[in-house]
Structure 1
Amino acid sequence: MEFNCIIERESFQLNVKDRSLQISNKSNQYSFDLSLKILITWLFRENEINGFLLENLVVEGDGLNMKKLKQFLSGKITFSGIQIFYFFHGEINVNINKATKVCTLINRQTKLKFSCKCFKKSVLGIEKIHKEIEIIQKASKHGFAPKIYECFESNNCIYLIMENLERIQDQEFMDDDIRVFLYNLIQTITSLHKENIVHKSIKMSHILFSEDNKLKLVGFGQANDTNIQNNEFRLDIFKIGMIMYKFYQKQNFQIDQLPVIPDEGNQLIQSLLDWRNDSPFQLNLLLNHSYFKLLKNEGIKFQIQCMSPKFKTQVYQNEDDESNF
C-alpha cells in the first residue's frame, strides 16, 4: 500500500510491502525490514490514529490510511500501548516460573474477545520470545496454531494477541470419539512435522478447538524448527501415545487395573510409544492403521465435525504446571 505522509512538515511517500516499509521523498529515504524487532508507537488526534513514532521519526498522515497501515502491519511488527487498544477480561493461567501467563482481553473498539500470551522479558529474553512467536506464526499459517492478530511490547513484557480457543472437556469419552480425536491429532502433528516443526510438549492442555471445530495446538515454548533431531520427532509421537493411553485409562479406570483398550488400539499404542522407531514421518503411516479402519468407512471429515463439539468447553481449568499457551 502507498500513501502520502508528513515528516517535520515535509511531504513523503510511504510504501509498505510484506517485508519492508519505505518512506521517501526527493531528498531523504528511510527503509525498514519488517520484523518483530521493529517497534511502532501510534499517535492519536481526537481519539483517532493520525500517525506513528518509529525510532526517531514522527510520521503523520490521513487517519484512514493510518488505520489501514496498522491493520496491514499487525502481526508483522510490534506495537506499544496495548492498554490503548485492549482491556483486561480475565486471567487464565500463570506459568510455574512466572515467565508467561495467559489472559483474555477485550478489544476496546470491536468488543471482541481475544487470548493474550504475556511473556516476561527479564526471564525469557527477547530472542527466545521472538523465536517462539515466529514458530507460532509459521504453524498458524497452516492452521495448526491459533491465528495471530497483533504483538505488543511494554517495558517488562511482550504480548501476543491471538484468537480465543476452547479447551477439551475433562470427562470420559466413548471409544468412537477417542478414535476420531486421535486421527485428527495425528493428522495435525503429521502436517506440523512436514513443515519441519516439532512441538515437544503435546498434552491435553495444549490441544484446543477453534469456533469452526478445527483442532489447534498451543504451548509452543519448547518447540523447534531448526536442526531437528529424529528423537525430537519421536517425542511428539510418544506424547500422542501417552494421550491415547490416558483416554482409555479415564474411560475404564479401576484401582490396580490397566485400562481396557481394543486389540488394534494396543497395537497402535505400542507403535506410538516405541522409542526404537526413529523415523520422523512414520505418523503418516499410522493414519492407515487398522484402529482407524471403521472411521474411513463412515467418512472421517464428517465425524471430526461431529466429534469436536463433544470435546469443547469454554471453562478453563488449571491442569498442570505449564502455561496453556
Structure 2
Amino acid sequence: MEFNCNIERKNYKLNVNDRSLQINNDSVSLTYDLSLKTHITWLFRENEINGFILDNIIVEGNTSNMKMLKSFLGGKITFTGIQIFYSYFGTMNFNKQKATKVCTLINAQTKQKFSCKCFKKSILGIQKIHKEIEIIKKASIHGLAPRIYECFESTNCVYLIMENLERFEDQEFMEDDIRLFLYNLIQTIILLHKENIVHKNIKRSHILFNNENKIKLVGFGQANNINIQNNEFRLDIFKIGIIMYKFYQKQNSQNDQLSIIKSETNSLLQSLLDQQNDSTFQFSQLLNHPYFKLLKNEGISLQIQCMQPKFKSHIYQEEEFEPQS
C-alpha cells in the first residue's frame, strides 16, 4: 500500500507492507517495524480519520487512505483510544485471577459485534500478553482460532478485538453428534500441532464456533510455541479424552459407568487418556480408529466439517466491564 501524506505541511510518501511502514521524501526516510510494540494514535477531523501519531510524529492524509491503512495495520501493531471506536455490549467470561476478561463490544460506526479479550498488564506483563496474541494470530491464519481485527492498549490494559464466536449448548447429544464433534476437534488439534503450537488448556468452554459452525479454539493463556516437549503434545490429547469422557458420562448419567460404552468407544477413550505413553503420538492412527468408521461409511471426507446447529448458542453473563482509556 502506498499513498501521499503530510508531516508539518511537507509532502511525504507512505509505504507499508507486512513487515514495515516507511515514510520518506527526497531528504527524510523513516522506517517502523510492524509489531505489537509499535503504537499508533489515530487523529480525527469532523469525525473522520485524517491522520495518526507515530513516535511523536503527526502524519496527515486523505481519509479513505487512512481508513485503508487502519484496516491493513489491524492486529499487526497496537492502537490507542479503544473507547473512540468501540462501546461496551456485554460480558461473556472472565478468569478467576481477574487477569483477563472477555466481553462483547460494538463498533461505533458499523454497529457490528466483536469479541474483546482484555489483558491486565500489571498481572500478566506485556511480554506474556504479546506472546499469547502472537500465538492466537498464528493459529487464526489457519482458521483454528478467532480472527484478530485490532489490538488496543491503555495505561492498564491490552484489548484484543476478535470475531464474535458462539458456544455450543450444554445439553445431551446423540452419539453421532459426539463422534463428529470429536473428529473435528482432533483434526483441529492436528493442524495446531503442525504449526508447532500446543494449547495445554483444551476444555469445552474453550471450544467455540463461527457463523459457519466450524470449531475455533480460545483460551490460549497457557499455550506454548517454543521448545515444546512431547508431554505437552500428549496433554492436548489427554484433554480431548477428558472431553470425550464427560460427553459419555452425561449420556450415561443414570449409570455413570463407562463399562456400558461400546468397545471401540472405550478403546479410543483409553488411547486418548494414556498419558504414560511417551512415544510420539500418531494422529493418523487416531483418525483411522474404528470409532470413526461410521462417519467414513457415511461419506464424510477427511476435512474439518461443520457442526449441527444445536451445538451453538449465545451465552452472555451480566457484569460491568468498561474499556479503559
Q: Name the TM-score, length of structure 2 as normaliser.
A: 0.94
AA partner of residue 109 (structure 2): Q
Instruction: Output the CA distance in 2 between the equivalents of 1:206 and 1:65.
Output: 37
Deviations 1:127-150 (A, max 9, x none): 000000000000000010001011
* Aligned mates of 2:194, 2:261 — CA distance in 1: 30
Mapping of residues 165-180 of structure 1, within 5 Å:
165-180=165-180
**CA distances 1:201-257 after superposition (whole Å, capped 9, x unpaired):** 000000011001111100000000110000000000000001000000001102664
Structure 1 gap ranges (5+): 319-325
d(CA) in 2 for partners of 1:219, 1:246:
19
Looking at structure 1, the residues matched to 36 and 229 of structure 2 have their Cα atoms a distance apart, in angstroms, of: 27
Q: What is the CA-CA distance between 1:304 and the residue it aligns to?
A: 7.2
State percent identity of aligned pairs: 74
What does residue 274 of structure 1 align with? Answer: 274
**In the alignment, residue 205 of structure 1 is paired with which amino acid?**
S
Alignment correspondent of 1:247: 247
Number of residue equivalences: 318
Within-5 A mapping of 1:1-325: 1-254=1-254, 257-258=257-258, 260-300=260-300, 307-316=307-316
Report the alpha carbon displacement of residue 80 of structure 1 after superposing the two structures with TM.
0.5
In 2, Cα distance between equivalents of 1:93 and 1:282: 34
Q: Could you list the runs of 5+ residues in structure 2 that have no partner in the other structure?
A: 319-325
Change (3 A) 1:306 1:58: closer
Q: Cα distance, 1:70 vs. partner?
A: 0.6
Once the two structures are TM-superposed, the CA of residue 55 in structure 1 deviates from its matched residue by 1.1
The CA distance in 2 between the partners of 1:230 and 1:49, in whole Å, is: 49
Shift of 1:285: 1.7
In the alignment, what sits opposite 2:322?
Answer: none
User: RMSD across aligned C-alpha pairs, in angstroms?
Assistant: 1.7
Alpha-carbon contact 1:234-1:279 (below 8 Å) kept: no
Rate the CA distance shift 1:80–1:233 in 2: closer, same or farther, 3 A.
same
Contact 1:249/1:259 (8 A) holds in 2: no
Once the 2 structures are TM-superposed, how far is the Cα of residue 301 of structure 1 from its aligned partner?
Answer: 5.3
> Does the C-alpha gap of structure 1 residues 250 and 2 become closer, same or farther in structure 2, counting only changes over 3 Å?
same
TM-score, normalised by the number of residues in structure 1: 0.94
User: 1:302, CA displacement in angstroms?
Assistant: 11
Q: Aligned partners of 1:305, 1:195: CA distance in 2, in Å?
A: 20
Deviation at 1:306, TM superposition (A): 6.4
> How far, CA to CA, are the matches of 2:6 and 2:183 in structure 1?
55
Native 8 Å contact 1:180 1:304 kept in 2: no
